[in-house]
Chain A
Amino acid sequence: MKEMNWFERTIRKILSNRGFLSLLATFIAIIIGLIIGLVIMLIAKPQNAFAGIEYLFGRWLSTATPTRIGTWLHYSTSLIVLGLSVAFAFKTGLFNIGATGQYTVGLFAALYVGMAWTGLGQFQWLVGILIAGLAGAFWGFFPGFFKSRFKVHEVISSIMFNYIGMYLVNFLITNVRNGSGELMLFDSSFGRTFVVPSSSYVPTTFFGIDLRAIFPGSDIDIGFIIAILLALLVFFILYKTKFGFELRACGYNRHAAQYSGVNENRSITLSMIISGALAGIGGGLFILASRAGNVGNIYKTVDVLLPEGFNGISVALLALSHPIGIILAGLFISFIQRGGFFMQTLIKNEIADVIVAFIIYASAISLIFQTRISNWLLKQRTEKKKEPKT
């Protein structure tokens, strides 16, 4: 075999780096998704298609930039937290498709605290979000327990708990009454809950730093910072603790993990509880967020699952479940969705979700190319080792 020059060697070295390969695969997936999106836009509205792509790529940021950046960061908050929720379960080999149900249950819990526990003063939002996390954990417990105890597949059971949770929340909202027998949460004239009072909103200043001063007029609050901190916490738990190592061992090969003394059933249940807690916190951060004009501080009792949990799946898949990657993936998907929001006059904003879905499909496929490249490299290396003997 002829001697490789330095260029070839460097290329090979870079190509055999797993992290680089994952990034490359994700990048290719994003390009494929955007091309498919462009084709769909060309079919649907040829005169606006290229302007649409420009908008998605960030032309929406060219006016009112600080405000729009702040609002973009705000909307990526729930995507990041839900992405963490799904990814945490993924790392244990579980597919928590029930994040949207845990999110809804958490949202309800925070809504209740925000309306009822007014005596807590400036800690009301914090208690609300903690209770939301507990409610989400409670809702994530069931699929995890059923999986470990009865071997019921978590995909089916957690989907069922999505619907059960949604109907239960609708039932509670339309039935919880205060001492004098009036509906406490439900505003029957609008078919939705009352607006959560602003005294229970998540603050906008973080240790003296006023986020609204940096991004004036935007919807940002410290929920975004909490999301980043949660990502770091999840990274720490998964990669720096024995507990996290056990969870990941279950995800890689649960038989081997069990053989080496990991309690698999305990790991499955705990993983779903933590995953649910994260999703619940996401719900709390959303309903108690301080937005301009109180948009989103209400819950509509329609029989439709909230889309946020499914976006969380997209985030986790795009980031290949890495906690730090999830921050980037959440920001990216939120970026596309905000672009879709601002280009509604050009083309209907569902195109953003279509593009994201195709990116996820492409990244599911591109994992295969990734393994093929590394297999090919491995083969080359073993052949090279064999060669001197012959």
Chain B
Amino acid sequence: MNWLDIVILMLNAMFLFTTPLLITAIGGMFSEKSGVVNIALEGIMIFGSFCSILFISTMQNAFPNINPTLLLVLAIFVAVIAGVILSTLLAFSAVNLKANQVIGGTAINLMAAPIVIFTARMINPNGVRTIQFSNNFNISKVPLLGDIPIIGEIFFQNTTLLTYVSIFIVILAVIIIYKTRFGLRLSSVGEHPGAADSVGINVYKMRWSGVLISGALAGLGGLAFTIASSVSFEGRVDGYGFLALAVMIFGQWKPLRILLASLFFGFMSALAYKYQLIPGLEAFSLSYLIKSLPYVATIVALIMTSKKTRVPKASGTPYDQGSR
């Protein structure tokens, strides 16, 4: 294998791992823009991943010849709905009951893993927690575009539909946040809910929307993670929900910067999972240190960006109309 092939393979892997981080981080951004810290992204990813992978596995058993693209599109809907359902718990506690957002989110993280493992063990006849599926969602080559030399190999070979969905989500997020009435109102609620309320914006409704959008995207991010990393669901997403939060902070709550930040972290993850491809790094003994790269990179990135943070000002504070 020459070095160009290795670079292309690493870039393919990078896009694969960028996808879940990007989708989930954009979700986290919507929630924080509305003023709710969504630390439950990890738990929502687990739940979304579980529901959609269970759906895929069931459908693959029932209809062995089902078209993979159609199945993936259906699974996307399942993941989104699952994410929305779990995020209602956060919205209810954080918006209506004005509970501590971090504690409410932590409770959701605590319940997600046992719920899915419990369900998986009750469903599986032998009581194991793993859900197997055949991971045939890899698009080996996009017609026409995949034939372009180098660029085609990087962007249009060995990819999945979800990568393109994630790019679409970023474009949509840019339009929604900066160009629509809804997006501007959402941002205003996260910056100064009292002022927003005084001009007639329903703060509670806006925050509910922010949290539910983040739930939908985190659920989808969970599906993307499992498809990127494995051929079975094991009841965990390896802290990618928290990495997505870091991506969001590193991206300064701006969709395009989040895209860049997620590419950086996606590359770190690609190194962590596919380092064997690089000559000289195959040695077994180093593997654990390389696997910790994305997490070390997060710390470094956060230290670098901490001085000039652009966090939405009201993020993390419950809004009480009575204390306006």
Contacts and interface: CB of A to CB of B under 8 A. Distances in A.
Contact of B108 (A175, A313, A317, A361): A361
B97 A368 contact: yes
A24 interface: no
Given A146-B303, A157-B302, A354-B111, A364 B103 contact: yes
A155 interface: yes
Given A150-B306, A156-B242, A364-B93, A45 B108 contact: no
A350 B303 contact: no
Contact of A350 (B106, B114, B292): B114
A171 B39 contact: no
A157 B302 CA distance: 8
A269 to B, nearest CB: 15
B139 to A, nearest CB: 28
A167 B103 CA distance: 27
Interface in A52-106: 95, 97
Interface string B88-110: 01000100011110111011111
Nearest to B94: A364
A152 interface: yes
Interface stretch (B18-26, B72-80, B117-125): B117-125
A155 B99 contact: no
10 contacts: A142-B299, A151-B309, A159-B242, A160-B296, A171-B288, A350-B121, A361-B93, A364-B107, A365-B93, A365-B97
A151 B100 contact: no
Nearest to B316: A153
A167 B288 contact: yes
B99 A156 contact: no
B111 A358 contact: yes
Contacts of B102: 95, 155
B245 interface: yes
A255 to B, nearest CB: 15
A357 B43 CA distance: 12
Nearest to B43: A357
B107 A361 contact: yes
A314 interface: yes
B197 to A, nearest CB: 20
A155 B241 CA distance: 13
A357 B306 contact: no
B245 A156 contact: yes
Interface in A340-377: 348, 350-351, 353-354, 356-358, 360-361, 364-365, 367-368
Interface in B102-146: 102-104, 106-111, 113-115, 117-119, 121-122, 127
Given A151-B309, A155-B39, A351-B114, 4 more contacts: A157-B299, A313-B110, A357-B115, A368-B99
A303 B286 CA distance: 14
Interface of B: 39, 89, 93, 97-100, 102-104, 106-111, 113-115, 117-119, 121-122, 127, 236, 238-239, 242, 245-246, 249, 284-286, 288-289, 291-292, 295-296, 298-299, 302-303, 306-307, 309
Contact of A354 (B39, B114, B239, B291): B114
A208 to B, nearest CB: 41
A161 B100 CA distance: 24
B99 A365 contact: yes
B118 A156 contact: no
Nearest to B98: A368
A23 interface: no
Interface of A: 40, 44-45, 95, 97, 142, 146, 150-153, 155-157, 159-164, 167-168, 170-171, 174-175, 303-305, 310, 313-314, 317, 348, 350-351, 353-354, 356-358, 360-361, 364-365, 367-368
B238 A162 contact: no
A152 B295 contact: no
Contacts, number: 137
A289 B104 CA distance: 34
Contacts of A167: 288-289, 291-292, 295
A236 to B, nearest CB: 26
A162 B241 CA distance: 14
Given A348-B121, A364-B99, A368-B98, A152 B292 contact: no
A163 B110 contact: no
B122 A348 contact: yes
Given A159-B239, A163-B239, A364-B93, A317 B299 contact: no
Contacts of A367: 99-100
Contacts of A368: 97-99
Contact of A156 (B97, B111, B236, B246): B246
A300 to B, nearest CB: 13
A95 B104 CA distance: 13
Contact of A348 (B106, B127, B286, B303): B127
A327 to B, nearest CB: 21
> Closest 3 interchain pairs by CB?
A357-B111, A353-B114, A361-B107
Given A156-B249, A171-B288, A354-B118, A164 B295 contact: yes
Contacts of B89: 361
A228 B127 CA distance: 37
Nearest to A353: B114
Nearest to B241: A159
Contact of B285 (A174, A354, A356, A364): A174
Given A164-B295, A175-B285, A368-B98, A314 B303 contact: no
A87 B132 CA distance: 39
A350 B117 contact: yes
A83 to B, nearest CB: 14
A221 B114 CA distance: 29
